[in-house]
């Protein structure tokens, strides 16, 4: 069947725009691209199929088949595992393509989980969900490297995060710090680094550019022990680190949607600053007695050192071309935090000033780069800041109303001016 595209090519040949030879080359080029696309689709469906079958096996196992004897249940526990291992072995030794590797790896991942689950049931092995998740993930991490499998890497990262949440965020009792998460994270990290080196621009790498910071953001709170209020500082430092990572030339040169670090870093920083712009947060901190030799302090210090070294390194390599306040928020906030132990009013005021400055900074960057998204992001920061101040200040209604009208008008004027400027340029 001749496609519309091929018809167009024929028309171009007939009209003597291109030669028959070139038309054939173009046709072949796009045909090979199509092949690639269908291969990718096949991989995705292969992984989805394995994922569903694997999860199905886990659910069937979870039924707990009482009327089977212990030995039959044990046999069933090992059966999916052996099948999974055979499939993985076949993919490795026959040097099968991506689809085989991804699908068999995903199946083996769930087969390992099903096997341990069934053994736990048969022998009523105690141990909570987190220890089960930890064993499962640890047993599956080598598959990532054996198969160079992206799907298994994603699964391991997701399950490591699940483990940390289950272990650290306990709802009824006090959680334990999920230290083993760090081990799991470090074990998956080389795969990510390898991907950054070999396929920096590919879509799968950008998926990891989002997943890695997201996992750390979800998990960091589980590392607080007794002084949860220090979490604000820990998170600001983490977001500062992310922002500075995202601004490294390697990530900064990529499309914004592929740069999870800079987006999480910026949004997270602004969000946390907005929370800490309320006075009651600082009042709580003011009364809190924090020992310096605490787990939270150690983690905060490590994060600070990492972010600060990265900033210094960026300057030393002359990667920072112009001043960007967002890069320094973590240092400024740490200073505010130290003041916060002595006084609650000063940091509250200073945080408000900082947010305002960040808003203006974003507006300026947006205007300079002619980027509507950044410009409106800045305006939004200012608008949300004013909304927040509605709740805890005794401003008159007239003044509050006027402020809103001003910001609203600002939205129109700024966008209109930029639109005009862009028009002139084009």
Partner 1 sequence: MKKKHILIMFCVVALIQLFVPAQMIYNQEKVLNDGKAYKFKTRPIDPNDPFRGKYITLRYEINSFKTRDTTWRRGDAVYVYLKDSLGYAQIDTISKYKLNLKTDYVVAKATHFRSFKNYSNKSARIHFDLPFNRFYMEEYKAKPAEDAIRVRRNDTDLKDVYSLVYVKDGEAVLENVFINDVPIIDYIKEKDNQ
**Interface positions with partner 1 (CB under 8 A):** 58, 61-66, 74, 77-78, 81, 85, 88-89, 92-93, 108, 112-113, 115-117, 119-126, 129, 132, 135, 139, 142-143, 145-146, 173-174, 176
Shortest spacing between CB 188 and partner 1, in angstroms: 15
Q: Which is nearer to partner 1, 68 or 419 (CB)?
A: 68
Q: Are 366 and 372 a contacting pair, CB within 8 Å?
A: yes
Residues whose CB is less than 8 angstroms from the CB of residue 52 and which lie 6 or more positions away in sequence, other chains included? none
Distance CA 136, CA 133 (A): 5
Burial of residue 62 (CB within 10 Å: 0-12, 13-18, 19+) is: exposed
Q: Which is nearer to partner 1, 86 or 253 (CB)?
A: 86
Shortest spacing between CB 162 and partner 1, in angstroms: 10
Distance CA 261, CA 129 (A): 30
Helix-, strand-, coil-residue percentages of the chain, each rounded to 5: 80, 0, 20
Q: Are 85 and 146 a contacting pair, CB within 8 Å?
A: no
Residue 250: both structure tokens together? 């390697």
Distance CA 385, CA 232 (A): 18
Q: Which is nearer to partner 1, 174 or 423 (CB)?
A: 174
Shortest spacing between CB 247 and partner 1, in angstroms: 34
Q: Which is nearer to partner 1, 16 or 67 (CB)?
A: 67
Q: Which is nearer to partner 1, 108 or 217 (CB)?
A: 108
Residue 362: both structure tokens together? 């974003």
Shortest spacing between CB 187 and partner 1, in angstroms: 13
Q: Which is nearer to partner 1, 122 or 241 (CB)?
A: 122
Shortest spacing between CB 117 and partner 1, in angstroms: 5
Shortest spacing between CB 132 and partner 1, in angstroms: 7
Q: Which is nearer to partner 1, 152 or 344 (CB)?
A: 152
How many residues does the structure list for the chain?
Answer: 426
Q: Are 379 and 407 a contacting pair, CB within 8 Å?
A: yes
Residue 87 CA neighbour count, 13 Å, CB half: 20
Q: Are 239 and 272 a contacting pair, CB within 8 Å?
A: yes
Shortest spacing between CB 170 and partner 1, in angstroms: 11
Residue 36 burial (CB count, 10 A) = 9
Shortest spacing between CB 152 and partner 1, in angstroms: 12
Q: Which is nearer to partner 1, 187 or 350 (CB)?
A: 187
The position carrying tokens 């320094």 is 328
Q: The dihedral of CA 159, 164, 165, 166: what is its sign?
A: positive
């Amino acid at each position: 069947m001749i496609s519309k595209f091929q018809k167009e090519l024929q028309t171009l040949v007939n009209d003597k725009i291109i030669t028959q030879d070139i038309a054939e080359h173009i046709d072949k080029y796009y045909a090979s691209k199509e092949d690639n696309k269908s291969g990718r689709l096949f991989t995705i469906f292969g992984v989805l199929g394995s994922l569903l079958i694997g999860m199905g096996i886990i659910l069937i196992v979870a039924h707990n088949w009482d009327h089977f004897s212990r030995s039959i249940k044990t046999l069933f526990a090992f059966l999916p595992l052996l099948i999974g291992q055979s499939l993985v072995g076949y993919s490795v030794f026959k040097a099968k393509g991506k689809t085989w590797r991804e699908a068999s790896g995903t199946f083996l991942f769930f087969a390992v989980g099903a096997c341990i689950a069934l053994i736990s049931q048969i022998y009523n092995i105690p141990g909570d969900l987190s220890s089960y998740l930890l064993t499962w993930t640890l047993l599956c991490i080598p598959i990532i490297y054996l198969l160079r499998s992206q799907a298994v890497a994603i699964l391991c990262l997701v399950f490591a995060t699940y483990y940390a949440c289950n272990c650290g965020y306990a709802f009824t009792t006090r959680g334990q710090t999920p230290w083993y998460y760090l081990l799991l994270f470090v074990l998956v990290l080389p795969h990510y680094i390898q991907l950054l080196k070999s396929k920096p621009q590919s879509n799968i790498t950008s998926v990891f550019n989002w997943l890695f910071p997201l996992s750390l953001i979800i998990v960091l709170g589980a590392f607080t022990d007794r002084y949860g209020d220090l979490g604000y500082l820990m998170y600001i430092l983490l977001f500062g680190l992310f922002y500075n990572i995202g601004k490294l030339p390697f990530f900064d040169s990529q499309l914004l949607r592929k740069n999870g670090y800079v987006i999480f870093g910026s949004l997270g920083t602004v969000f946390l600053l907005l929370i800490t712009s309320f006075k009651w947060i600082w009042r709580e901190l003011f009364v809190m007695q924090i020992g310096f030799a605490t787990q939270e302090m150690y983690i905060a210090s490590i994060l600070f050192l990492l972010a600060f070294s990265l900033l210094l390194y960026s300057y030393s390599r002359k990667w920072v071309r112009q001043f960007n306040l967002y890069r320094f928020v973590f240092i400024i906030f740490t200073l505010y935090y130290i003041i916060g132990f002595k006084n609650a009013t000063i940091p509250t005021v200073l945080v408000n000033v900082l947010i305002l400055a960040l808003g203006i900074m974003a507006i300026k960057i947006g205007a300079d780069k002619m980027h509507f998204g950044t410009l409106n992001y800045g305006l939004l920061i200012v608008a949300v800041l004013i909304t927040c101040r509605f709740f805890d200040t005794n401003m008159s209604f007239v003044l509050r109303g006027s402020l809103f009208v001003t910001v609203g008008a600002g939205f129109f004027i700024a966008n209109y001016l930029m639109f005009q400027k862009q028009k002139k340029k084009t």
